[in-house]
Structure 1
Amino acid sequence: PLQFDYSNSSGNRPVLKLNPYSWTKIANIIFLDAPVGTGFSYATTWTAYDNSDTSSAAQTYEFLRKWLMAHPKFLTNPLYITGDSYSGVIVPIIVKEVYDGNEAGREPPMNLKGYVLGNPVTCEVKDISQRIPYGHKTALISDELYEATKTDCNGDYVNVDPTNGACLTDLEMVSICLEKIYLAQILEPMCSFLSPNHTKLKWSRSILQENIINVVSMPLQSRPWCRNYNYLYSYIWANDRNVQEALHIREGTKPEWDRCNESLSYTKDVLNSVVYHRYLSKTSLRALIYSGDHDLAIPYIGTLDWIRSLNLTLLGPWAPWFVNGQVAGYSILYSKNNKYDLTYTTIKGGGHTAPEYKPKECFSMVDRWFSYYPL
């Protein structure tokens, strides 16, 4: 419901304002820090911090069960599991856990209706490989370089044969083309402190890496705008003692809040979550998948690719949808056995992740979808 008022924030005093496009206006939302160790979540033993995709999903399911048993008035509410980015791996597992629990008669029964995923990671190798065709589609990579890379690398741009010199040379050229592009939104400026040296750059599986610099004390007029600067306010705000007391954070459980805790002991034991989508496509659930169409980290063409692999029935053509008379994105609707339905849409101009860049359009999207209206 709140967001940072960047234009009126300065130094170590972030200013908050109401978010007119908060999804809390249309739904009761549980915001969950998971896996354990992220956000303000913590464990009481060191071994409890050892986590994985599957164990994190199982823990989230157990949390939901206990929370709903403690708050039974919400049991009849329609339940949607949502997430974005790496949640594209975790959320389908959680949805399967909830669905299977209902089928097995576990208490409490949950009124599961579907799931929502934004800019979702699905198979890291395939997602990253799609950056090259996406870069070609958006004129970041030339026709000649794209065709040479596709041929020399046999379409595999991640698990490259180290003896394939032609492929490695092509990928070095691709890296030079993409190194100064902001992966999260290709039209936005890349922070100077994030710009790598192309002589040291290698084509890697790293999606997004953030470095923090002390820019909050610089006058707004004297620094070039960069979206990553905005994230610094979350560190200041979340680590403020008064804020933590207001949020009822248990003192001493979290020495410092990190936006992205890279020290987690975490095992990625699900390398491709499509198998879970395929399982869920045999149910009567609903799914909404959306992508910012300017996201180079998880390109929309890769998301469309795995959706098509589900062999669903196409219910309508690729078509624009509108907010205030303007094109907000392009959507397509699929179904299976007239029970499961999946809506996929791009968010025009959106990045990684789309609601951060296009809050009005994403609010309209989810409001219409929750209400069973066409986008």
Structure 2
Amino acid sequence: MGNNAPLFITTLSIYVLLRLALTISAPEGALIEQLPGLNATLPSKHYSGYVSVSGTNGKKLFYYFVVSERNPSEDPVVLFLEGGQGCSGMAAFIYQHGPVNFKKVKPRGSMPKLHLNKYSWSKVSNIIYLDSPAGAGYSYSGNESDYSTGDRQTALDTYIFLFEWFKLYPEFLKNPFYIAGESYGGVYVPTLASEVVKGIGSNVKPMINFKGYMVGNGITNTKFDHSSVMSFAHGMGLISDDLYQEIVAECNGTYFNTFKSTCKSKVEKANLVLEDLNRFNILEPCNPGPEDSIKISTALVPESLRKSEKTERALPVRDSRLGRAWPLRSRGRNRIVHTWPQLLQSGLIKCIDDEVATTWLNNEAVRKALHAENESVAGEWVLCSALHYVSDSGSMIRYHKQLTYLGIRALIYSGDHDMVVPFTGTQAWTRAIGYKIVDEWRPWYADEHQVAGYNQGYDNNLTFLTIKGAGHTVAADKPKEALEFYSRWLEGKRI
């Protein structure tokens, strides 16, 4: 380039800056100036605050918005929903794919140190972390009755949130929009997607440029999700051939909510064998002491449900390590889901340590920096709040069929060492939809030589993907691989 090199570099730099320049019409006071504990400049702009979804004294949903580090004016906008029910979206921000990583500092309870995350999903997308429903994380309501909710109401509330959020940030309306989530997000995501599609069909303004959705290790269908656990455990060498054959013979493929005593006894025997495993990732250790367990808030649960003997007898007790991904269900059409009956007595979920998140998000300076209400208004931040929740949406398979038939892209991914929602059940229901295979089962690679997992593509833009060695929270276990498939899929490239 000779003497023209400096001019070329300057021109290129100006071009890049112009592409990255984006005027954001955020609410006054929404910009986050600095994150306590981070001795570095944020690589992109961050915003946070509340959106009211039910009146002045009603539900206030907290969001944390990370602008893309690449090209915010063109990159997709992704809404990420954590599971639960009642778990905070900020958990994904801290432990999985947020723009910063958190390092635990001694002594216990000290403020963690933050550093930039090179595998953040904000490298390739604008991303909204949402605390939903009201009562999760920093979200709250002035009406105690709002803490009794369900699938349908949560989907409607989150749709209203989106509607109002895009009014606050209208410059992002033209960007491709995607919904993502994990665990009980397997219900949140497709039910919300259905509401968005209805809004588009009714020409509701502002018009959202909805393109697709992602579900990771998601609750979908009771039969497929629950019935896959024993076959998964057997396939992974965790229970013996003899015991597995006895279970198959006695249970006839139904290992949950069974009243057959011989089946129940065999399943209970298997659970005893499995009880010391970390079911969220069977490759990882489980330290069941109180220092390695998460605290469950019961503040939002009506007093009558906290230690009611009647409630405890009405709801079957199961292993606490199934935690936030396996809701308990009572019989009947509108099945009351009380995810934490056993945990309400102990106050803990084993094998998960929430020290970093709890310490950081309850710090007064952090709450102020994030524009979160103080504890007297929004309550103490906890990883998962015990809500009174009704599972009233049924199987998600019909939602997936309806959405993909309309041309909405769907990526269903699974960490292949999760025993909470095993990949075997997810693989089975994606196949059971009945779509033609257009990309036969094959390995995919995060770099040139290493197999990162397996992929199968179906007609109507439905893709099933596994991530080798990952558990229930894929990006926490395999951050490099997670960013790889995330970015490729968003760009419409072959994984």
- Give, as a single letter, the amino acid of the residue that structure 2 aligns with 1:27: S
1:208 aligns with 2:304: no
Secondary structure of the 1:280 match is: helix
1:173 aligns with 2:242: no
The residue number in structure 2 matching 1:144 is 242
- Give, as a single letter, the amino acid of the residue that structure 2 aligns with 1:330: Y
Which of the numbers 422, 441, 457 marks the counterpart of 1:333? Answer: 457
CA deviation after TM superposition for structure 1 residue 271, in Å: 3.3
The residue number in structure 2 matching 1:359 is 479
Q: Is the 8 Å Cα contact of residues 183 and 208 (structure 1) preserved in structure 2?
A: no
Q: Is the 8 Å Cα contact of residues 222 and 395 (structure 2) preserved in structure 1?
A: yes
Tell me how far apart the structure 1 counterparts of residues 223 and 446 of structure 2 sit (CA, whole Å).
34
Tell me how far apart the structure 1 counterparts of residues 453 and 148 of structure 2 sit (CA, whole Å).
40
Tell me how far apart the structure 2 counterparts of residues 43 and 168 of structure 1 sit (CA, whole Å).
41
Tell me how far apart the structure 2 counterparts of residues 143 and 303 of structure 1 sit (CA, whole Å).
23
Tell me how far apart the structure 2 counterparts of residues 80 and 104 of structure 1 sit (CA, whole Å).
19
Tell me how far apart the structure 2 counterparts of residues 171 and 70 of structure 1 sit (CA, whole Å).
51
Superposed, 1:251-266 pairs within 5 Å as: 251=374, 252-262=376-386, 264-266=387-389
CA deviation after TM superposition for structure 1 residue 49, in Å: 2.3
CA deviation after TM superposition for structure 1 residue 368, in Å: 0.7
The residue number in structure 1 matching 2:116 is 18
Cα deviation code 1:179-198 (max 9, x no counterpart) = 11110011111113389xxx
Secondary structure of the 1:317 match is: strand
Secondary structure of the 1:284 match is: coil
Secondary structure of the 1:140 match is: coil
Secondary structure of the 2:461 match is: strand
Q: Is the 8 Å Cα contact of residues 328 and 348 (structure 1) preserved in structure 2?
A: yes
Structure 1 residues 203 and 315, CA gap change in structure 2 (3 angstroms): farther
Q: Is the 8 Å Cα contact of residues 131 and 138 (structure 2) preserved in structure 1?
A: yes
Tell me how far apart the structure 1 counterparts of residues 257 and 214 of structure 2 sit (CA, whole Å).
30
Tell me how far apart the structure 1 counterparts of residues 135 and 141 of structure 2 sit (CA, whole Å).
7
CA deviation after TM superposition for structure 1 residue 212, in Å: 7.3
Q: Is the 8 Å Cα contact of residues 278 and 351 (structure 2) preserved in structure 1?
A: no
The residue number in structure 1 matching 2:489 is 369
Tell me how far apart the structure 1 counterparts of residues 276 and 283 of structure 2 sit (CA, whole Å).
11
Asked which structure has the greater RCO (Cα within 8 Å, sep 6+), the reply is 1
1:271 aligns with 2:394: yes
CA deviation after TM superposition for structure 1 residue 159, in Å: 1.9
Cα deviation code 1:280-300 (max 9, x no counterpart) = 121111111110000000000
The residue number in structure 1 matching 2:136 is 38
1:249 aligns with 2:372: yes
Tell me how far apart the structure 2 counterparts of residues 57 and 81 of structure 1 sit (CA, whole Å).
12
The residue number in structure 1 matching 2:281 is 185
Residue identity (%)? 37
CA deviation after TM superposition for structure 1 residue 279, in Å: 1.2
Q: Is the 8 Å Cα contact of residues 238 and 274 (structure 2) preserved in structure 1?
A: yes
1:284 aligns with 2:398: no
Cα deviation code 1:75-120 (max 9, x no counterpart) = 1000001111101011101111111110111111110000011111
Q: Is the 8 Å Cα contact of residues 186 and 215 (structure 2) preserved in structure 1?
A: yes
The residue number in structure 2 matching 1:121 is 219
The residue number in structure 1 matching 2:352 is 228
Secondary structure of the 2:256 match is: coil
Tell me how far apart the structure 2 counterparts of residues 9 and 307 of structure 1 sit (CA, whole Å).
45
Cα deviation code 1:295-348 (max 9, x no counterpart) = 00000011111111211110121111112221111011011xxxx301111000
1:111 aligns with 2:202: no
Secondary structure of the 2:465 match is: strand
1:89 aligns with 2:213: no
Q: Is the 8 Å Cα contact of residues 158 and 204 (structure 1) preserved in structure 2?
A: no
- Give, as a single letter, the amino acid of the residue that structure 1 aligns with 2:400: H
The residue number in structure 1 matching 2:160 is 62
Q: Is the 8 Å Cα contact of residues 175 and 203 (structure 1) preserved in structure 2?
A: no
Q: TM-score, normalised by structure 1?
A: 0.88
Which of the numbers 438, 442, 449 marks the counterpart of 1:319? Answer: 442
Cα deviation code 1:2-42 (max 9, x no counterpart) = 12123x55432211111111101111111110011001001
1:343 aligns with 2:439: no
Q: Is the 8 Å Cα contact of residues 414 and 423 (structure 2) preserved in structure 1?
A: yes
CA deviation after TM superposition for structure 1 residue 128, in Å: 2.3
What is the aligned residue count? 348
Cα deviation code 1:232-287 (max 9, x no counterpart) = 1111111000000000112332231010111x122121232112111112111111
Q: Is the 8 Å Cα contact of residues 171 and 203 (structure 1) preserved in structure 2?
A: no
Structure 1 residues 269 and 61, CA gap change in structure 2 (3 angstroms): same
1:158 aligns with 2:259: no
Structure 1 residues 181 and 22, CA gap change in structure 2 (3 angstroms): same
1:297 aligns with 2:420: yes
Q: Is the 8 Å Cα contact of residues 158 and 205 (structure 1) preserved in structure 2?
A: no
Tell me how far apart the structure 2 counterparts of residues 38 and 166 of structure 1 sit (CA, whole Å).
39
Structure 1 residues 330 and 10, CA gap change in structure 2 (3 angstroms): farther
Tell me how far apart the structure 2 counterparts of residues 254 and 232 of structure 1 sit (CA, whole Å).
20
- 1 or 2, which has the higher strand percentage? 2
Q: Is the 8 Å Cα contact of residues 115 and 287 (structure 1) preserved in structure 2?
A: yes
- Give, as a single letter, the amino acid of the residue that structure 2 aligns with 1:259: L
CA deviation after TM superposition for structure 1 residue 205, in Å: 7.4
Q: Is the 8 Å Cα contact of residues 321 and 328 (structure 1) preserved in structure 2?
A: yes
The residue number in structure 2 matching 1:218 is none
Compute the RMSD of aligned alpha carbons.
2.0
